A and B are shown apart, each in its own frame.
Chain A
Amino acid sequence: MTTFADGVLHTHRELDDMLGRRWRKPRFVKRPWLRWVLGLGFLAYLIASYTTVEVNWNRVYEGLERGWKFVIAFASPDFFSRSSDIWDGMVESVIMTVAASVVGIAISIPIGLGAARNIAPLPVYLICRGIVAVSRALQEIIVAILLVAIFGFGPLAGFLTLSFATIGFLSKLLAEDIEAMDKVQAEAVRASGSSWLQWINYGVQPQVMPRLIGLSMYRIDINFRESAILGLVGAGGIGATLNTAFDRYEYDTAAAILILIIVVVMALEYLSGIIRAKVQ
């Protein structure tokens, strides 16, 4: 041992200490007492919150029967006795969806560019992030209630609501995709002496296009489903028809409407799958 040089001897000693010692992955919360307090505290909170939820079992028993009727109605959906109402509602919903999606996506693209920190200057970034934040903070139903109050009942309020909601959704996700792009590909385009617009068109757009198309398809899907909800607050579309059907206790007609909504959403889902596979 003494024949070893100083440095070598030293490293051997450190290793000797380590050999035979147990190894565990370092804990996320290092202090044991804090780890236990956090864990037990969460468990206690969970138990406390479950016990505060009251369940009226008699009411549930009565409701089960009503629910069952509703479920049974799906076995015999009635597409025909209100067919013209359903058709009008559907057409209105589709128009609302398409119009709102086109307008929303068109506005989302410049805002999405502005909300990406790696390509927008700070003032533009802050403004665009602000718009995104406002749009995301206000839930569709709340916006719809406000817009129905301003523009009256009907699909105009629904169209505006969906456009507004699309902006928050799409701009944010587009901006995040732009922020995650490969910087060097864009840099190479800039190095050729391109203008800003050319840089976006050649260096940025090809990188984010598949995601933009995928998100747009997804948003069209969401907008259609939302259009069914917005009818409940008077903003037009198939939701208004559905609401009327519920009010009249016409569960078979309501079931027919729900089935149609499901079919349309599934068709959109299938379509977007095909399109996304094409553009990747």
Chain B
Amino acid sequence: MTVTHLTINGETISQDINPRESLADFLRERRNLTGTHLGCEHGACGACTVSLDGMVVRSCVVLAVMCEGRKIETIEGTRKSEPMDVIRRHFHEKHALQCGFCTPGMLMMARDIIARYPEPSDSVIRSQLSGQICRCTGYAGIIAAIESAAREIRDAVE
């Protein structure tokens, strides 16, 4: 076990962590942050996407002990935050979710896409989403939601 200090959703903690434990398992099983979902556990589906020092990562292929001194934000940390509330509303209005399992990871990635591409085209959104699997929606609603949320966020800034 390794004592690790890290900040999760604004709260700094130190905890004994088994070096082989993934960040996703640590968040879900040790911190009870179950909004981070596991769809494949080998870095292919994107359901477990979280923010690590402002970068989106797949928490299933990051070891928790690697997060010493770093800041992690999960979907739970976005519950009362702009622009995620805007993105959430557009996901709702564009029918961008069905079973909801991929949704937390999709939202984390959507926010990141909008931050990097304030005016994302359809093809930019599609290629940026290429590591996020949704089995239900056929992606149409998700793409439409990201496009319209980006527009609203852009308009609010201007």
Please indicate whether A and B come from the same complex rather than being unrelated chains: no
* Residues on A facing B (Cβ under 8 Å): none
